[in-house]
C-alpha cells in the first residue's frame, strides 16, 4: 500500500512539474512576442532584433490586384531599419494571444492584431510566429501575417 502511495505521489510530482515547465515556456514565448511589439512601439530595433534568430523568414499573405492570394517575402533587416528610423507616430500593434502550441523546442503562436499609427487605425490581420528554444531563450525564426482594413477580429 505504501509503495502505491509513493509511486502515485512521484507520478503526481512528475505531471505537476511538467505542467509548470509548460507554463514557464508559454510565458517565455509570450514575453518574446511582446518584446517585439514593445520594441516597435519604442522605435527600438535592437529590442526587436533581440527576440529573433539569426535566420529569419519574414512573409505576408496578401491578395494581388486580381484578388488572388500570394505569399510575399520581406527583408527582415529593412524592417529593423524602419523600426529604428524615427517616425512621427508610434507603431502600435495590439494583439491577442490565440493558440500557442509547443512540441519540445518548437512553438507556434497565433495572434490576431489591430495596427495603429499613433491613435489612428491602419489595418488588422493575424500574425503566425514560429519559434525555437535556443540556449538564449525562445527565438522567432518565421513570422507570417495577413493585413486588411476591415473584418477585423481580436487585437
User: What's the CA gap between 10 and 57, in Å, rounded?
Assistant: 43
Specify if 36 maps to a domain. yes
Q: What is the CATH number of the domain that holds 65?
A: 3.10.450.50
Could you list the residue range(s) of the whole structural domain that residue 88 is in?
Answer: 2-146
Q: Per residue in 25-61, pLDDT tens?
A: 999 999 999 999 999 999 999 999 999 999 999 999 9
Q: Where are the alpha helices (DSSP H) in 43-144?
A: 45-49, 76-84
User: What's the CA gap between 132 and 8, in Å, rounded?
Assistant: 33
Q: pTM of the full predicted structure?
A: 0.83
154 band by pLDDT with thresholds 50, 70 and 90? low
Specify if 151 maps to a domain. no
What the block records as the C-alpha cell of 18 is 511538467
The average confidence (pLDDT) of the chain is 90
Specify if 18 maps to a domain. yes
Amino acid at each position: 500500500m505504501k509503495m502505491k502511495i509513493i509511486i502515485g505521489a512521484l507520478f503526481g510530482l512528475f505531471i505537476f512539474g511538467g505542467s509548470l515547465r509548460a507554463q514557464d515556456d508559454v510565458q517565455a514565448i509570450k514575453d518574446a512576442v511582446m518584446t517585439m511589439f514593445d520594441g516597435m512601439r519604442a522605435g527600438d530595433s535592437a529590442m526587436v532584433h533581440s527576440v529573433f534568430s539569426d535566420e529569419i523568414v519574414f512573409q505576408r499573405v496578401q491578395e494581388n490586384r486580381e484578388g488572388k492570394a500570394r505569399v510575399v517575402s520581406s527583408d527582415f533587416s529593412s524592417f529593423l531599419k524602419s523600426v529604428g528610423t524615427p517616425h512621427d507616430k508610434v507603431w502600435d500593434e495590439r494583439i491577442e494571444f490565440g493558440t500557442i502550441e509547443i512540441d519540445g523546442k518548437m512553438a507556434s503562436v497565433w495572434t490576431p492584431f489591430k495596427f495603429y499609427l499613433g491613435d489612428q487605425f491602419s489595418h488588422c490581420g493575424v500574425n503566425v510566429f514560429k519559434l525555437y528554444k535556443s540556449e538564449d531563450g525562445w527565438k522567432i525564426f518565421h513570422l507570417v501575417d495577413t493585413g486588411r482594413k476591415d473584418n477585423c477580429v481580436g487585437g
